[in-house]
Amino acid sequence: MTPPAPAAPTLDAELFDGRSAAAQPVRLHIAHGQLHASNDALHQHWPLTAVRWPERERHGRRLAYLPGGAMLVGHDARAWDDWAAANGLHPSWLVRCMQSWRAVLAALLACVLLLGAAYRWGTPWAAQAVLGVVPPQVDADIGEAVLAQVDTQWFQPSALPQATQDALRARLAQAVQRAAGRHPTPAYTLHFRATPPGGLGANALALPGGHLVVTDAMVKLLADRPDALIGVLGHELGHVARRHGMRSLVQASLLAALSSAVVGDVSSLITAAPALLGQMAYARDFEREADDDAIALMRANSLDPAEMALMFERLQAERQARPGPRIELPIALSSHPADAERMARLRGAAGQPH
Q: What is the pLDDT of residues 44-94, one digit of tens each?
A: 999 999 999 887 776 778 999 999 889 999 998 889 988 988 888 887 777
Residue in 242, 243, 233, 140 with CA at minimum distance from that of residue 179? 233
pLDDT above 80 for 336: no
Q: Give the pLDDT score at 335.
A: 47
Q: ∠148-193-204 over CA atoms, to 5°? A: 90
CB 330 within 8 Å of CB 283: no
pLDDT winner (highest mean) among 43-47, 275-279, 347-351: 43-47
Which residue intervals of the chain bear CATH 2.30.29?
A: 11-98
- Residue 120 has, within 13 A of its CA and on its CB side, a CA count of 6
pLDDT above 60 for 106: yes
**Rounded Cα distance, 203 and 214, in Å:** 6
Residue 256 confidence class, pLDDT cut points 50, 70, 90: low
In this structure, what are the phi and psi dihedrals at residue 270, rounded to the nearest 5 degrees?
A: -75, -40
Q: What does pLDDT average to over the chain?
A: 79
CATH architecture of the region 11-98: Roll (2.30)
Higher pLDDT pick, 249 / 41: 41
